[in-house]
Amino acid sequence: MDEFIELHNLTSLPVPLHDTNVLSATNTWIPGRRGRLCFPAQPSPAPGGYCLVVSFDPSNPDALARFRSRYGLGDSVVIYGPYDGKLDNSPRRLIC
């Protein structure tokens, strides 16, 4: 089973997924201390949009194609990863 985190932007503005006060190419994000992922410097789900964070390396074209096919995702869905660690498989809602 694929593990992934779905992040929804419920606002009408872009929401950066990094610390905008840190001047570095990447910033570390730790979702509930269950995993670690360094996002690119400028990611941001579109207003009202979403992105996925996956446990595999999305730069692997075969793995990415299988994942997109399995969940019926088009190329417009932004996918980041991989994150380190495991999820505890209980639903969580994070509001930032």
Q: Quick check: is 59 in a domain?
A: yes
Q: What is the pTM of this model?
A: 0.72
Q: Quick check: is 73 in a domain?
A: yes
Top pLDDT among 54 and 37 is at 54
Q: What's the domain range around 76? A: 6-85
Averaging pLDDT over each range in 33-37, 38-42, 73-77, which range is the top one?
A: 73-77
- Count of the separate structural domains present in the chain: 1
Q: Does position 41 have pLDDT exceeding 70, yes or no?
A: no
pLDDT, mean over the chain: 76
Q: Quick check: is 92 in a domain?
A: no
Helix (H) or strand (E) holding 67: helix 61-71
DSSP code for 60: S
Name the token pair of 48: 């009202």
Peptide bond into 82 cis (omega under 30): yes
